[in-house]
Structure 1
């Protein structure tokens, strides 16, 4: 029986709840997972790339600030980086399904090298921007923005590869293991990005802008030959070539669509204060040196990444009593809880920065560190739940397409957060410091929670035991809708639950005859 086949029944008692048998195999075995070495090489490449990505952001941001670019100009420099993510995630998922994840990984490495090499030439092309005219600054902003687009494409190709691979190396039904694997690779990625942020800040403050970028090229280039040697070339490629059209790109299930919408608001709530406003506030508002700014950003990301990996310990036992995984209801609950933190932190920061502190910024620093650490902890659980659920909801034969659509929403939320954060911070920093962008994050998280409350989620565990290899998904159907055909061979046992709550079991031999069977 294929993954798309269903048991269609019509019972004398009227409407029933249809149980769809998903990925059932008569011999009792699921589809064989890909070799685990694919996960290892993907994880190493993903982390190396993330290291360069985190370092590049701090190198460009701090160097631009030193040259006198304002918050809006710096936000614009990263705008195409985020815009690229919207389209790359959408069509990158199609590319992953059509050409395989090896192709997306190698494309990512190549584009990142191109971006880093091009950005090394900013000084040679435009001269000393610190003392240059406004026209030169505008031209330099356009140039940096354009090549940051390459980095944005590269990042999302790599993310797509890294987030899709765990699904392909995990056995069918091993949801607890999948949750831990996704949280592990995501948490490790965030910790590595934090390290990159620190190293980037240190490098730009010691060896300078150009040599910092050259160092990053050397780091990422190492992993291209490793992937060529150890990674399966057809990993993630659809077994049956299908013509991809717009309907297949955008037509997703209810849960994928809902979770994608919640993801938009979730990551918009973070990037509105984190990507542009926070490092500029630390450097100019608190007067910190670039190295200390990088250390703070790195510390936040590393703590966030480790907390995300640790979040799996909260789910020791699942609904089946064996596997640990979060439920769909967790999305709304954790988002609502997280929404209070930036609201309170922003308010306390405004009081301490504008009223209590008179130059030392001690109270403001304490409030900011404690508030953002608490936010990191709760947000990490939010992100881990999202990352697991989207992989779980995805069709294994189209996992890269489903994840591409989901991370398109993620990139769109980041884009809105970066641009809105840069503009709002530019016009409110003198009077309110960092507080306004933190206040705006709260309603973003509320929206994420409201949308997440509409998730249906997987129906875990039917009322009576179901044969091994079968996952049950119920759907209310009328008698008229229950006429259909089944394809496949072998006998299957299924359990039918009537609308009135009674249950029946039956053995049916699959053939090509219409399944209008009474129980």
Structure 2
């Protein structure tokens, strides 16, 4: 948010600002693929600390005077930031597998949901914090403020975390970064289309449409998007209560199939009512809630499916597919919206969700939960 607002103030056009984030998304694909292998070899705490260190470097790069912040320089900083983010996310989610007993699947689901939901809620808080810090401290001041906080976190991580967390007993070969587990491959494919279905209309098309067609000010657009992401994260964190925790059931592939099916028609319905902002905003709320449950289910299933030895390899491969979906969705969001508008983005979103549903049919089920 800081980068978007600051470079918008400097007069950069929308395409130039979008290019600043191209490497951020691209390196998410690469990092998740390689990061899982790295975590299995050197440990999840070390992988996470490398991510924190790279984020420190990225912020330091952006503390330079404005005249030195060329597009190429900021793209490089964002590349480091993208690598850092995915090393941290992969390490944190993989580590839960090591910290929770293998026979406590309900507990595993609960902590995965809390971690995923809180991460996304804080992402929403970041929308507000970016604007606030820019107003109070300026761009460079905001960078130094975040650097100070991040260095404290890195110090605590170096001192407090277990050194051997997540290290595989045998060193995996680099060729093992591609999963050989059929369930994980199916889930990864479903995840890719699921996240592409969101970002194809949410990332670029929606905020531009709201700004141009509904005549919202920038602060209104940013505040709405932030509130949506925070609410999305909250629903993710309580997903276990919605999907069967009270009955003592844990989700399986059938659960993912049902919730993906519920999501499929929502973009189509929104597309039919784009002339009403209440249908658009209400539909976005319903889409966000059901999408959040789908995302939380997937996040639990990948950790559940992952091997006990070298969990990060499987989780990394899965989040590589997630990042690929986001990259494809982001590119399509700008291109399709520019050519055919938001309605076309919503139609493509429904097609991608339908593909998610078809893929989810092949996800494994627990026999005792077939009727769930």
Change (3 A) 1:243 1:166: closer
CA–CA distance in 2 between the matches of 1:274 and 1:122?
33
2:263 counterpart of 1:338: yes
Structure 2, unpaired ranges of 5+: none
Q: Structure 2: how far apart are the matches of 1:285 and 1:121?
A: 37
Q: Check whether the contact 1:167–1:178 (CA below 8 A) recurs between aligned residues.
A: yes
State whether structure 2 residue 87 is matched by structure 1 residue 157: yes
Provide structure 1 residue ranges, at least 5 long, that are not aligned to the other structure. Answer: 1-57, 127-139, 353-363, 462-519
User: How many residues align structurally?
Assistant: 369
Q: Which residue of 1 aligns with 2:28?
A: 85
1:483-498 superposed matches below 5 A: none
The within-5 A match list for 1:39-50 is: none
1:374: how far off?
0.6
- Out of 186, 198, 211, the residue aligned to residue 270 of structure 1 is 198
CA deviation vs aligned residue, 1:342-385 (integer Å, no higher than 9, x gap): 22213311x23xxxxxxxxxxx2x23321111111100110011
Choose the corresponding residue for 1:300, options 202, 222, 228: 228
2:52 corresponds to which residue? 109
TM-score normalised by length of structure 1? 0.67
Residue aligning to 2:149: 219
Separation in structure 2 between the aligned mates of residue 144 and residue 281 of structure 1, nearest angstrom: 27
For each residue in 1:265-316, what CA deviation from the matched residue of structure 2 results, as whole angstroms up to 9, or x when unmatched? 1111112222233334444544444433332121101110111111111244
Q: Higher helix fraction: Structure 1 or Structure 2?
A: 2
2:363 pairs with 455, 458, 462, which one?
455
2:72 to 117, 134, 142: 142
Task: Name the CA distance, whole Å, in 1 between partners of 2:162 and 2:328.
Answer: 36
Distance 1:342 1:69, change over 3 A: farther
Counterparts of 1:336 and 1:445, CA distance in 2: 8
2:170 alignment partner, one of 230, 241, 254 = 241
Partner of 2:281: 369
Deviation at 1:460, TM superposition (A): 5.4
TM-superposed CA distance for 1:207, in Å, is 3.9
Counterpart CA distance in 2 for 1:293 and 1:222 is 33
CA, structure 1 residues 384+231, in 2 after alignment: closer, same or farther (shift >3 Å)?
Answer: same
RMSD: 2.1
1:416 aligns with 2:345: no
The structure with the largest strand share of the pair is 1
Distance 1:172 1:97 in 2: 18
- TM-score normalised to the size of structure 2? 0.92
Q: Which one of 217, 239, 247 corresponds to residue 311 of structure 1?
A: 239
Structure 1 stretch displaced more, 416-425 or 397-406: 416-425
Q: Which residue of 1 aligns with 2:249?
A: 324
Which residue of the partner structure matches residue 297 of structure 2? 385
